[in-house]
Structure 1
């Protein structure tokens, strides 16, 4: 009898464990479904927010004046007035909108079409002891996914679902960086502030606005030291001509010649819009670029 009770007790315990696992799995499925539905709702709401923000931008008299007058000063005043972001709340959803120049950083996707800019980027990365294979990783991800394409790295063997054709966002770039660090056992890449170095424009607009260029970009396009690059970027004056800017910043001939290999200007009327949406346990990020002259948004990226 004792043995049978022991067996019965063991069977009961096993039954409870199985039930617990089954119920736990079912609850997980329900929770996953709820999260999926919530994400679908979030995506729909995100589209509405984007439409609303574009409507506000299209209706802005200040932006209309900037586009019509090609005004360097008006663009500067507009960006200064919204520095730090715009907080909004709607039906339990918190929304933070950040608006900056879309042209303060370097369009990394351009290295796929410009060999010299690729070489300059290689030189910049080498200063921080980043291996040349990192450039190969970037170029592999930029390749169009078509039959017969050859890859120089194994990134897609470990990440078969990774987006191909261009580097689409900072989240996308971070996945590439994680692979680089794991594959080559190299953390040197952590020393580079990619947020201040790269943007992810494709063919739409790749010109750097020198009035808003970051220290990282000044270092890249002039080949100067990081200390001097910080000095070049920290001025609070906007310039209406390259000649005035070169003179005020005391750019040397070599620096000007190298800068001339990049597409630059002192008035590039494109905005970068970043939206952080927080609702309950879900945070989503949306970004896009806005053409002030043509009142049009493009390069939309949704990260839900």
Structure 2
């Protein structure tokens, strides 16, 4: 364990050194053209920094050593947030597990939707919110047989799948405005959902959030928090199941889950004066490949 933590710490230090040098070049260009920078130029520089981050991730041999739940846990503990600042330009890179939350697109499955609706009921939230989510990934229906009227309000909304956090925010705003549910504001959907087209992805039980555990296991908040705050790392799915009751094991079986998923959720925020860009993507540490890119400028 100590050796693994030492290796992960070395990886983090090496990564910070490389990203500092690379991002520094992009920041230099931004600073030199600060007086005439336009939105298009800022977008270009954002793309340059993204390319730099991807290149470093792909060429960092030490990252390949993150091959177990323990390795990933140590890596995230030592490199969760990497901030930079230079001449008024700020860059913040955040790493987390890309499998710690539920993919809302997986709720098309009835058993999973029922589990989610049970969670909503426990939070005193109208279960129609789950129906709105399903409508939002049901595709175009010529007969308009949607359960809710979200497309009467947003007739041009994308409806093949929930594509991004911004798309989810639109859905949330529709729900709040339509149903005036005061309890909904106490539920952080960012802690529950991770948006991706891949509905077959597994939830990493070593990094699941408390809200995710509540949905997966059908347990109460205290029980979920105990699981999410534990410090030990499970090595096998069988070891994890020993911690569960028979009912919790049945509930868990409705979802795809594992104890190690080699996917990082990478968030990059770039700020310069009144301009802010956010980039989010998931990075496969085995294939050395980024995917599911979302840009917000």
Q: TM-score, normalised by structure 2?
A: 0.82
Given that 2:100 and 2:207 are in contact with CA atoms closer than 8 Å, whether structure 1 keeps it comes out as: yes
Q: 1:146 to 1:47 in 2, by over 3 A?
A: farther
Equivalences for 1:12-91 in 2 at 5 Å? 38-66=38-66, 70-83=67-80, 85-89=81-85
Match among 100, 104, 111 for residue 116 of structure 1: 111
Q: Is the partner of 1:51 in helix, strand or coil? A: helix
Cα displacement string for residues 95-119 of structure 1 (whole angstroms, at most 9, x for unaligned residues): 100000001111111112x211111
Structure 2 portions without partners, runs of 5+: 1-36
Q: 1:277 to 1:164 in 2, by over 3 A?
A: farther
Q: 1:204 to 1:127 in 2, by over 3 A?
A: closer
1:278 matched residue in structure 2: 271
Match among 177, 185, 188 for residue 180 of structure 2: 185
Tell me how far apart the structure 1 counterparts of residues 139 and 86 of structure 2 sit (CA, whole Å): 40
Given that 1:62 and 1:78 are in contact with CA atoms closer than 8 Å, whether structure 2 keeps it comes out as: no
Paired residues, what number? 261
Q: Is the partner of 1:232 in helix, strand or coil? A: helix
- 1:268 and 2:255 aligned: no
1:12 matched residue in structure 2: none
Tell me how far apart the structure 1 counterparts of residues 277 and 44 of structure 2 sit (CA, whole Å): 12
2:282 matched residue in structure 1: 289
Given that 2:103 and 2:199 are in contact with CA atoms closer than 8 Å, whether structure 1 keeps it comes out as: no
Q: 1:302 to 1:148 in 2, by over 3 A?
A: farther
Equivalences for 1:1-304 in 2 at 5 Å? 38-66=38-66, 70-83=67-80, 85-89=81-85, 92-112=88-108, 114-145=109-140, 150-203=145-198, 206-247=201-242, 250-304=243-297
Tell me how far apart the structure 2 counterparts of residues 64 and 119 of structure 1 sit (CA, whole Å): 39
2:6 matched residue in structure 1: none
Tell me how far apart the structure 1 counterparts of residues 184 and 82 of structure 2 sit (CA, whole Å): 32
Q: 1:160 to 1:208 in 2, by over 3 A?
A: same
Q: TM-score, normalised by structure 1?
A: 0.80
Please say which structure displays the higher CA radius of gyration. Answer: 1
- Deviation at 1:269? 0.3
- Deviation at 1:220? 0.6
Structure 1 portions without partners, runs of 5+: 1-36
